[in-house]
Amino acid sequence: MKRMSKKTLLLAGAGHAHIGLLRRLSADRSKNNASNALIDTDIHLISEQPHTLYSGMLPGWMAGHYQLDEISIDTKSLCLRAGVRFIQQSIINITAASNTVETSGNERFDYDVLSLNTGADTDLRGLSQAYDDMSNDTRDDMSNDVIAIRPLSTFTLQWQQILADARQSEQYRLAVVGAGAAATELVMAAQVALQKINNNHQVTLVCGENLLSGFVPSFRQRVIKQLHRHSITIIEARATAYRDGKLSTSNDSFPVDAVIAATGVRGAAWTVSTDLETVDNGFVAVNSQQQSVSHPNVFAVGDVATRVDQYVAHSGVHAVHGGAIEAGNILAYLQSKMLTEYQPKTHTLYLLSCGDKYAIGSWGSVSLQGRWVWYLKRQIDKRFVTSCAA
């Protein structure tokens, strides 16, 4: 009897969804319970780094509550346990018409089914109104000056440099630009860390007029009170440029030693040259089954993708829950079975850390705060990271 040739499932990026899929494959493997869909399938995962940093614990690391290895997931070992080949490379293009992924190592990888979970880039456009018209060299200059929160691995090195500079300074001034939950967590973690070095150091949040606009008013008020408790300066103007040690806003300009941008996400750089259908400046357009609207053998989930049928926020929560559905759909697709829709829950639990082992929680219209909320967050976060090592 003629044996069918093996299929290739390529996992691009090691974001939340693929970590979840690897855990599932690893658990199935240890129970000798591999899905029939995968018996004749080779699985490869391409990611830039052998470790994935867990963003939910990053502010806790900045504030000194965790070591870097406590917030890192060893993707390479997880792949080994899951029976997945790990390839450490950066994806620079995807040509869906020929089913190929191109990497910075000048290699091409063919696939039968592709799953994208590469996250997104920090949106720096607001920091220079002319960002899209700039040459790549000028953009590089600007991104050397402004410290983007993504990729997290680069950010962790830059944060350590900030701490080193602050130790040499009498009065270090840091600005965090952004208006979302991540920006408020970062600014409080930064203030706690810098003031541990010297009380004269000061962090400023530059947030425009819409601080935490997606959250209920009670949660927003709680966060603003915590920002005041930490004596963080809040500037409700838009940051427009950072040049020669001065941060300009729509109202003013002032000197700072460093600027961190936590300004939301834009489509990943590699999407510029792909033939996959994208929306909103480079997010891979997917349907309710997390399947590319232009190429059915391509699935995408998390920050890299945008749902075309309904609004789903780019967040870790949807990367995890959407990822679980997407993983099932990949297996179903390989067996020509029916796909399932990802239906996001109306409310999700959000736990926001306030720098000093204190946190605020929100669930729908309910919000609460306290040290116990921080310990709850720590327990949930640690359980997630340690379960990836089991």
Ligand X SMILES: Cc1cc2nc3c(=O)[nH]c(=O)nc-3n(C[C@H](O)[C@H](O)[C@H](O)COP(=O)(O)OP(=O)(O)OC[C@H]3O[C@@H](n4cnc5c(N)ncnc54)[C@H](O)[C@@H]3O)c2cc1C
User: How many residues in the shown chain lie near ligand X by CB under 6 A?
Assistant: 34
Q: What are the residue ranges of helices labelled H in 57-209?
A: 58-62, 75-82, 136-145, 152-167, 181-197
CA gap 175, 234 in Å, rounded: 10
By beta-carbon proximity to ligand X, the closer residue of 128 and 315 is 315
Stretch of 55-63, 208-216, 273-281, 328-336 lying at the interface with ligand X (CB under 6 A): 55-63
**Stretch of 23-31, 42-50, 131-139, 223-231 lying at the interface with ligand X (CB under 6 A):** 42-50
45 in contact with ligand X (CB under 6 A): no
Q: Is 117 in the site for ligand X (CB under 6 A)?
A: yes
Stretch that binds ligand X, among 8-16, 124-132, 134-142, 232-240 (CB under 6 A): 8-16
Is residue 14 within the footprint of ligand X (CB under 6 A)?
yes
325 binds ligand X (CB under 6 A): no
Non-local CB neighbours of 83 within 8 Å, separated by 6+ positions: 25, 26, 29, 34, 43
State which of residues 186, 190, 211, 325 lies at the interface with ligand X (CB under 6 A): 186
Q: Which of 118, 128, 290, 306 binds ligand X (CB under 6 A)?
A: 118
Contact between 16 and ligand X per CB under 6 A? yes
55 binds ligand X (CB under 6 A): yes
Q: Residue 37 in contact with residue 100, Cβ under 8 Å?
A: no
Q: Does 15 bind ligand X (CB under 6 A)?
A: yes
DSSP letter string, 256-274: -SEEEE---EE--GGGGG-
In the chain, count H helices and then E strands. Answer: 9, 26
The stretch near ligand X (CB under 6 A) out of 9-17, 209-217, 219-227, 332-340 is 9-17
Q: Are 256 and 272 in contact (CB under 8 A)?
A: no
Which residues pair with residue 363 across a beta bridge? 366
Give residues with Cβ within 8 angstroms of 180, minimum separation 6: 212, 214, 262, 264
78 burial level (CB within 10 Å; 0-12, 13-18, 19+): buried
**Residues 268 and 118: beta-carbon distance below 8 Å:** yes
**Using CA atoms in the order 123, 129, 130, 134, what is the torsion angle rounded to 10 degrees?**
-30
Nearer to ligand X by Cβ, of 58 and 194: the residue is 58
Would you tell me how many other CB atoms lie within 10 Å of the CB of residue 137?
Answer: 8
The piece of 111-119, 237-245, 287-295, 339-347 that touches ligand X (CB under 6 A) is 111-119
Residue with smaller CB distance to ligand X, 208 or 322: 322
Q: Are 246 and 256 in contact (CB under 8 A)?
A: yes
Q: Is 148 helix (H, G, I), strand (E, B) or coil?
A: strand
Q: Is 185 in the site for ligand X (CB under 6 A)?
A: yes
CB of 175 to ligand X, least distance (A): 16
- Minimum CB separation from ligand X for residue 351, in Å? 6
Selected from 279, 285, 293, 317, the binder of ligand X by CB under 6 A is 317
Q: Is 274 in the site for ligand X (CB under 6 A)?
A: no
CA-wise closest residue to 329 among 286, 371, 366: 286
* Token pair of 155 as six digits: 């950010």
Minimum gap (Å) between residue 336 Cβ and ligand X: 27
> With 0-12 CB in 10 A as exposed, 13-18 as middle and 19+ as buried, what is 174?
buried
* Cβ proximity to ligand X, 34 vs 68, nearer residue: 68
* Given 8, 77, 90, 154, the residue binding ligand X (CB under 6 A): 90
Residue 58 interacting with ligand X (CB under 6 A): yes
Q: Is 114 in the site for ligand X (CB under 6 A)?
A: no
x/- letters, 119..138, toward ligand X (CB under 6 A): x-------------------
49 binds ligand X (CB under 6 A): yes
116: how many CB neighbours lie within 10 A of its CB? 32
Contact residues toward ligand X (CB under 6 A) are 13-17, 46-49, 52, 55-56, 58-59, 90-91, 117-119, 149, 151, 182, 185-186, 268, 270, 302-304, 314-317, 319
